Structure 1
Amino acid sequence: MALVIENLSKTYSNGVQALRDVNLTIPTGMFGLLGPNGAGKSSLMRTIATLQEANSGSIRLDELDVLREKDGVRRILGYLPQEFGVYPKVTAEDLLDHFAVLKGLADSKERKATVAALLHKTNLYEVRKKNLGGYSGGMKQRFGIAQALLGNPRLIIVDEPTAGLDPAERNRFHNLLSEIGENIIVILSTHIVSDVSDLCRNMAIINKGQVLLTGDPLVVMNELQGQVWRRAIAKEQLPALQQEQQVISSRLYAGQTIVHVVSDGSPGVEYESVTPSLEDVYFARIAEAERGMAVVA
């Protein structure tokens, strides 16, 4: 099973071009869609989820035409949007039962068993009688996954699911996603690099509506081997260094600014070679794309 996206473009009525000839093949398993805020990730997810129209291009899930056969897509889709609201004075059990009715589970006995199984799966069964308004952020996200799993979907989309979660809840959520992503397509849309490196064997980087890179995170990191260099500098040195080198990232550590630069050879004796991380790949590709756009402009 694969989701195949070809030449997909979307321009909103205000003139913003959110997607520019996007081409992706997404196989079974966890797939990471990585990009900064405003990169077009949510626009792509909403188009796949049949919540908005594309201007051009196609999306197919095996033999299913996603853009034309919307009802068919919705029957096999689970979706956890970036903003997932709940009724604060309703229990998790009651709201999940309501969602199950909307999903077409008419038999009350079957529906009750399904709801209980999903609450167990998401580790919410013991708090099923608690109002959702009293849930933590991580518990609400796990409830969101429970509703996305209704109807045994073949495709699940989760949009920025770990933003704002504490480390413990983030780990719980990662474990849950990893488990459900073994036999179906799960698209994880995020700006958090470690979410993708921890969970996904396939990924894409998107920025300003364009796909910049696709592949296995381990492979794309290895392709940058020997080209990433690190140096500690004073903060005021950064602007000048950015003019001299291809600086891909900078961060403060122990009062100093640590910069990573990309270079085929050593940029100087002050630098040490470092093993590339997915974060280095991410920043390098976005910086490369930004330079290309600046040259065109």
Structure 2
Amino acid sequence: MELVIQNLSKTYPNGTKALKNINLTIPKGMFGLLGPNGAGKSSLMRTIATLQEADTGSIMLGDLDVLRQKEEMRKVLGYLPQEFGVYPKVSAEEMLDHFAVLKGISNPKERKEVVAALLQQTNLYDVRKKNLGGYSGGMKQRFGIAQALLGNPQLIIVDEPTAGLDPAERNRFHNLLSEIGENVIVILSTHIVEDVTDLCRNFAIINKGEVLLTGDPLEVINNLNGRIWRKFIHKSELAAHQAQYDVISSRLFAGKTIIHVLSDVQPGVEFEPVNADLEDVYFSRIFEATKGERHEPAEVIMN
């Protein structure tokens, strides 16, 4: 089964063009949707999840017309939005049981078994009696995945799930998503490049409502090798280098600024070649899409 999105567009009443003729084919497995804040990722996720209407275009999940068969779509969808609220004085077990009722699991014995199995899968069974208000950020995200898995969905959407998690919780969440992605379509919407590198066999870069690139992360990285050059500079030199070179990103290291420059040939003797990674792919595509606009090079923040 595939999720096929064709010619999808959305303009909000204030004139913001959130989605511009989006075309994507998303197969079973983990699919990364990568882009900066405000790129249109959440707008696309909400449209797929039937939470907002599209102006034009179509979305098909196998034979299911997502935009026309909303109720049928919701039966096979698991969704963890970016802002996921919980009732702080209710236990995880009670809350998940309530969600199971809403999902149509009416038999009490079946519901108890489903709830227990999902709490085990998300490593929350030992704290199932604890109120959700006492959960850490990572535990709440894992609970969010547990509720998204109710009803054996064919498509799961997770929107910015690892933002704010500490490294240990992030690793636990990655392992859980990787396990889930073996059997269903999982769309991971994020601005954290490492999440896509670690988890996804296919991905797309979206910016300003447009798809800039799709493909296999390893393949697109290989295509960029030989075009990324590095130089250590003083921060005061950044503006001059930006004016002279295609500086796609910068980061601080040991009191110095490291810049990455996109070039088919060595920009100068003081530049050294570096092996490209998905971060370079991401920043180079954003840079090329906005070339000619006045902007600062991306400052890398390691997550």
Interval of TM-score (by shorter of Structure 1 and Structure 2): over 0.9
The residue identity in structure 2 corresponding to 1:153 is P
TM-aligned CA deviation for residue 164 of structure 1: 0.2
SS in 2 for 1:283: helix
The residue identity in structure 2 corresponding to 1:65 is D
Task: Find the aligned partners of 2:83 and 2:235 in 1 and give their Cα distance.
Answer: 37
Alignment partner, residue 278 of structure 1: 278
Cα deviations by residue, 1:178-204 (Å, 9 ceiling, x for unpaired): 000001100000000000000000000
Alignment partner, residue 218 of structure 1: 218
Q: 1:186-225 to 2 correspondence within 5 Å?
A: 186-225=186-225
Q: Which consecutive residues of structure 1, in runs of 5 or more, have no partner in the other structure?
A: none
The residue identity in structure 1 corresponding to 2:21 is D
Alignment partner, residue 118 of structure 1: 118
Alignment partner, residue 2 of structure 1: 2
TM-aligned CA deviation for residue 293 of structure 1: 6.1
Q: Percent identity?
A: 76
Task: Find the aligned partners of 1:283 and 1:208 in 2 and give their Cα distance.
Answer: 14
The residue identity in structure 2 corresponding to 1:200 is C
Task: Find the aligned partners of 1:160 and 1:58 in 2 and give their Cα distance.
Answer: 24
SS in 1 for 2:6: strand
Task: Find the aligned partners of 1:183 and 1:151 in 2 and give their Cα distance.
Answer: 14
Alignment partner, residue 38 of structure 2: 38
Alignment pair present for 1:20 and 2:20: yes
Alignment partner, residue 167 of structure 1: 167
Alignment partner, residue 87 of structure 1: 87
Q: Which consecutive residues of structure 2, in runs of 5 or more, have no partner in the other structure?
A: 295-303
Cα deviations by residue, 1:136-157 (Å, 9 ceiling, x for unpaired): 0000000000000000000000
TM-aligned CA deviation for residue 119 of structure 1: 0.1
Q: 1:94-133 to 2 correspondence within 5 Å?
A: 94-133=94-133
Task: Find the aligned partners of 1:147 and 1:38 in 2 and give their Cα distance.
Answer: 27
Cα deviations by residue, 1:54-87 (Å, 9 ceiling, x for unpaired): 0000000011000000011000000000000000
Task: Find the aligned partners of 1:293 and 1:209 in 2 and give their Cα distance.
Answer: 17
Alignment partner, residue 300 of structure 2: none
Task: Find the aligned partners of 1:292 and 1:172 in 2 and give their Cα distance.
Answer: 42
Moved over 4 A (4+): none
TM-aligned CA deviation for residue 291 of structure 1: 1.0
TM-score relative to the length of structure 1: 0.98
SS in 2 for 1:261: strand
Q: 1:249-268 to 2 correspondence within 5 Å?
A: 249-268=249-268
Alignment partner, residue 291 of structure 1: 291
SS in 2 for 1:211: strand
TM-aligned CA deviation for residue 292 of structure 1: 5.8
The residue identity in structure 2 corresponding to 1:155 is L
SS in 2 for 1:291: coil
Task: Find the aligned partners of 2:14 and 2:271 in 1 and give their Cα distance.
Answer: 46
SS in 2 for 1:189: strand
Alignment partner, residue 49 of structure 1: 49
Task: Find the aligned partners of 2:98 and 2:11 in 1 and give their Cα distance.
Answer: 35
SS in 1 for 2:224: coil
Alignment pair present for 1:65 and 2:59: no
The residue identity in structure 2 corresponding to 1:277 is D
Q: How many residues align?
A: 294
